[in-house]
Amino acid sequence: MALPFDRRIDRRALLAGGLATAAVAGVGLTACGPTNSGSQSDASATGGTLSIAMSAANIPFPSTPPNQGYEGYRFVGNNIYDALTRLNLDQDKTLPVPHPSLAEKWDVSEDLKTWTFTLRKGVTFHDGTAFNADAVIFQLDRLKNEKFKYFSETDAANGATQVRYIDKYEAVDDSTVKITCTQPYAWLHWDLLHVYMPSPAVIKKVGNDKYNAHATGTGPFKMTKYVDGETMELTRYDKWWPGPVKLDKIVLYPQPEAASRLSMLQSGQVNWAEVPTPDSIDQLKADGDQIFMHKYPHGIMPRFNLFRKPFKGNTKLRQALNYALDRDGCAALINNVGYGAKQYVYEGHPDYAPNNPGYSYDVAKAKQLLSESGYQPGELTITMGYTTGGSGNMFPDVMMQKLQADFKAIGVATKLVPMEWTVLISIGLDGLNSDKWKNLDILWASPAAGMTPTGYNSTFMSKRPGGQANATGLDDPVIDKNLTLAPQQKEEKDQHAYLQKMMDQAVSQAYFLFWMHDLNLRVMSADVKNFVEPQSWWVDFSKITVSGS
């Protein structure tokens, strides 16, 4: 049986041990039992139960796609569902890339516009119905075809990015699907990572509105319990096509409070906690817990407002601020759960520009560039909007105070405008040239920098598909050219070469504040085994076991 169960027994022993507090509080000592319904008898034969304290404020929807950002994909989507492709998350050496999943293989036409997917045979959904080409078409219709009976407005809106380059799709036969793109596009298999395949039979039965309560995919786990706002239980699906995973169960709890996640881990309620407070690391190590930190595509890269002065057309000013940042000092403040960024992506990432040193911490140079940019110390006050919360934003309050001090050291005053996560997202949609937001000079950004090549679009590209202007007014022909050419290359190394050129330009022109990379801090109790920490927001659960000690 899983550890949380055993720890509960420990706790009960403690209680029965006569701790007076409990008795005073009037707690029924005998009434407390295991919370998990798993059977204890066959403990040795199974992989145990993994209980996870997520940083999300709610259980992500088990919809296709899920919500709550990549936490939804990480814990819910990838476990309940398969997509046509899946990242190789079971290694930590390289950036994970798409591998065959429900699609056994695929062929891309010479012009990179037509993709033909050969589907895996014999795959069944959790409800027993068969996965086939119709199921793929069904899901694409749900996301793209407004006239389709089961078209889902909400899923279509949420998943628009992932089907944006899809023009036409058809089932060639029962196990072959042909997708035509709107333009030469070598990254469709990246997009399709996110397009999960739900059971058409279930959707036809319960409808889109009630689907969440009945989520059914082909993935490694079945959803066996879902209480919105409270918990979700995922149980191993023994007929998962690669063979069953080790774990019996995964139990998810939402907990946006870092201190509470920590207590949940310490009290044995969970054996996996996302992002505990950085200052708890030493204590956790002393307790024998496993601390995980690993570089992955996530950074804090604030964006300059390039629609207007002072940053529009003033490369030296942007460079000056980049030189002013004491990144190591900032990392120290957050107990080194992150590290200073040289570029938008981390060193070692395939898109990292090899011959660009980026910006060091150089106050003298910063001051000199500030002066050359036309501003004397004390002349410039900039307004920076940042979010105070939302998972994946590291530790904004501490970091912003440091940034303010760093800028002050070169004679630039910073007015901090804290805002809710929703507002920050709204600004991204409205653009910094809209009336509501044009007072902001710099905007906090926490991109999954380089997790997928498609992700660069929204922040780098000026001429974006669909016609929306870049939110910060970044409009650089070199960047646009390289970002346009990259997905038109058949070979991955050629794609990366263009993306490196794009990075090189973005760094040289200092279009962002290249600030911090996150190290993806998470903690697990000692009994969680075989966890591999990939260079990704997503993780692989298939090999993990939880051993009773």
Partner 1 sequence: MLRLIIRRILMAVPILIGVSIIVFLLMSVVPGDPEAGLVPDDATPAERQAIRHQLGLDQPLPIRYFHWAVSALHGDLGYSTLRRREVSDLLQQAWGNTFVLAAVSAIFGIALGLLLGYLAGTRRGKVVDRVVSIFSLGGLSIPSFFLAILLLGVLSGQLRLFPSGGATFDEGWGVAIQSLVLPVLSGAMITMAITARVTRAAIVDVFSADFVETLRAKGLTEFGVRMHVLRNAISPVLTTSGVQIGALLGGSVLVETIFRWPGMGLLLYTAISTRDLEVVQGTTLVIALTFVVINLVVDLVQAAIDPRVRGAVS
Check if the beta carbon of residue 510 is closer than 8 Å to that of residue 534.
no
Identified binder of partner 1 from the candidate list 209, 243, 491, 493, rule CB under 8 A:
209
What is the DSSP track for 423-443?
A: HHHHHHHH-TTSTTTTT-SEE
Contact pattern from residue 155 through residue 174 relative to partner 1, giving x for each residue in contact according to CB under 8 A and a dash for the rest:
--xxxxx--x----------
Check if the beta carbon of residue 229 is closer than 8 Å to that of residue 58.
yes
Q: Which stretch binds partner 1 (CB under 8 A): 125-133, 338-346, 355-363, 461-469?
A: 461-469
Side-chain half-sphere CA neighbours of 161 within 13 A: 14
Minimal distance in Å, beta carbon 84 to partner 1? 19
- Tell me, what amino acid is at 280? S
Encoding tokens for residue 468? 């929306």
Minimal distance in Å, beta carbon 50 to partner 1? 17
The answer to whether 151 contacts partner 1 (rule: CB under 8 A) is no
Specify the 3-state DSSP secondary structure of 83. strand
Minimal distance in Å, beta carbon 17 to partner 1? 10
Check if the beta carbon of residue 325 is closer than 8 Å to that of residue 513.
yes
Q: Which stretch binds partner 1 (CB under 8 A): 56-64, 98-106, 313-321, 375-383?
A: 56-64
Nearest to 387 by CA among 435, 440, 433: 440
Contact pattern from residue 233 through residue 262 relative to partner 1, giving x for each residue in contact according to CB under 8 A and a dash for the rest:
--------------------xxxxx-xx-x
From residue 36, give the alpha-carbon distance in Å to each of 4, 7, 60, 199: 8, 12, 21, 28
The answer to whether 423 contacts partner 1 (rule: CB under 8 A) is yes
Check if the beta carbon of residue 76 is closer than 8 Å to that of residue 60.
yes
Total chain residues near partner 1 (CB under 8 A): 67
The answer to whether 416 contacts partner 1 (rule: CB under 8 A) is no
Minimal distance in Å, beta carbon 152 to partner 1? 10
Contact pattern from residue 30 through residue 49 relative to partner 1, giving x for each residue in contact according to CB under 8 A and a dash for the rest:
xxxx-x--------------
Q: What angle do CA 289, 295, 296 make, to 5 degrees?
A: 110
Distance CA 44, CA 331 (A): 42
Identified binder of partner 1 from the candidate list 16, 27, 332, 363, rule CB under 8 A:
27
Distance CA 442, CA 432 (A): 9
Minimal distance in Å, beta carbon 319 to partner 1? 26
The answer to whether 515 contacts partner 1 (rule: CB under 8 A) is no
Identified binder of partner 1 from the candidate list 148, 150, 151, 421, rule CB under 8 A:
421
Nearest to 217 by CA among 355, 370, 83: 83
Check if the beta carbon of residue 427 is closer than 8 Å to that of residue 443.
yes
Q: Between residues 70 and 375, which has the closer beta carbon with respect to partner 1?
A: 70
The answer to whether 207 contacts partner 1 (rule: CB under 8 A) is no
The answer to whether 16 contacts partner 1 (rule: CB under 8 A) is no
Q: Between residues 130 and 423, which has the closer beta carbon with respect to partner 1?
A: 423
Q: Between residues 27 and 363, which has the closer beta carbon with respect to partner 1?
A: 27
The answer to whether 25 contacts partner 1 (rule: CB under 8 A) is yes
Based on DSSP, count helices (H) and strands (E) in the chain, helices before strands.
Answer: 18, 22
Minimal distance in Å, beta carbon 269 to partner 1? 6
Minimal distance in Å, beta carbon 122 to partner 1? 32
Q: Which stretch binds partner 1 (CB under 8 A): 41-49, 124-132, 414-422, 480-488?
A: 414-422
Check if the beta carbon of residue 460 is closer than 8 Å to that of residue 474.
yes
Identified binder of partner 1 from the candidate list 282, 420, 439, 526, rule CB under 8 A:
420
The answer to whether 10 contacts partner 1 (rule: CB under 8 A) is yes
Q: Between residues 148 and 421, which has the closer beta carbon with respect to partner 1?
A: 421
Distance CA 95, CA 117 (A): 23
Check if the beta carbon of residue 241 is closer than 8 Å to that of residue 120.
yes
Query: Going by DSSP bridges, is the β-strand pair 338-340/516-518 parallel, antiparallel, or unpaired?
Result: antiparallel
Distance CA 528, CA 49 (A): 10
- Tell me, what amino acid is at 101? S
Binding site for partner 1 (CB under 8 A): 7, 10-11, 14-15, 19, 21-22, 25, 27-28, 30-33, 35, 57-58, 61, 63, 67, 153-154, 157-161, 164, 209, 212, 227-231, 253-257, 259-260, 262-264, 266-269, 419-423, 425-426, 428-429, 436, 457-458, 464-468
